[in-house]
Amino acid sequence: MRRILDLRIIHWGWKTVYVIVVAWLLPVPGPIAGALGFDPLIMTVVNAIWLIAAVYYGSRIFRGRGEAVTPPRPRWQMTARAKLSRRLGYLFFALTLVNLLSVVLVTTGVVLESTSLAVAIVGALECGALAFLYLNSAIRLRRRREAPTEPTFKPRRLSVG
């Protein structure tokens, strides 16, 4: 078990593979719960817990450019830089607002059960939790003085001709 916790992913390609496989292709607990006859709300909650756990574990094992590889990150730190944490926090906050809008539309009867009220509420809670984690990380990283060095990668300009 200790070896799994000591895993570190540095290259962006392997980070992408992790996100695709673990967060999108591997959330098998939800369909298994559905096959066993559980309520769709339970399936939704299980999938939400799986996704939050996958994102949080990813934040433990991913390393940014210039970040020390060996020592573990503090529990509150989700990314290597405040700017990335802030942008991801804003993204999840926007998704929280979209889910809350769908809750309002379902409860007022504008949308007729195309989406379940419970699914929209769980989605809002899930995205809200992720938004909190990333925005908290952005605030605390900005306060911290020992930030890793900025990336030196400069993309080449595309030219026609």
d(CA 129, CA 26) in angstroms, rounded, equals: 21
User: Mean of the pLDDT values across residues 37-49?
Assistant: 81
| Average pLDDT over the chain, rounded to an integer | 81
pLDDT at site 96:
96
pTM score over 0.85:
no
Q: Which two tokens stand for residue 73?
A: 């990150």
Q: Mind listing the pLDDT tens digit for each residue in 55-99?
A: 998 888 888 887 888 888 889 999 988 999 999 999 999 999 999
- Candidates 7, 28, 29; CA nearest to 18 is 7
CB 129 within 8 A of CB 56: no
**Residue 47's pLDDT band (boundaries 50, 70, 90)?**
confident
CB 51 within 8 A of CB 43: no
In sequence order, which residues have a C-beta less than 8 Å from that of residue 92 and are 6 or more positions away? 127, 128, 130, 131, 134
pLDDT at site 156:
63
pLDDT at 8 over 80: yes
pLDDT: which is higher, 159 or 71: 71
pLDDT at site 64:
85
Lowest mean pLDDT among 44-48, 95-99, 113-117: 113-117
pLDDT at 104 over 80: yes
Q: Annotate the chain with DSSP letters as a single string.
A: -HHHHT--B-SHHHHHHHIIIIIII---HHHHHHHTT--HHHHHHHHHHHHHHHHHHHHHHB--TT--SSSPPPTT--SSSHHHHHHHHHHHHHHHHHHHHHHHHHHTTSS-SSS-HHHHHHHHHHHHHHHHHHHHHHHHHHH-S-PPPPP---PPPP---
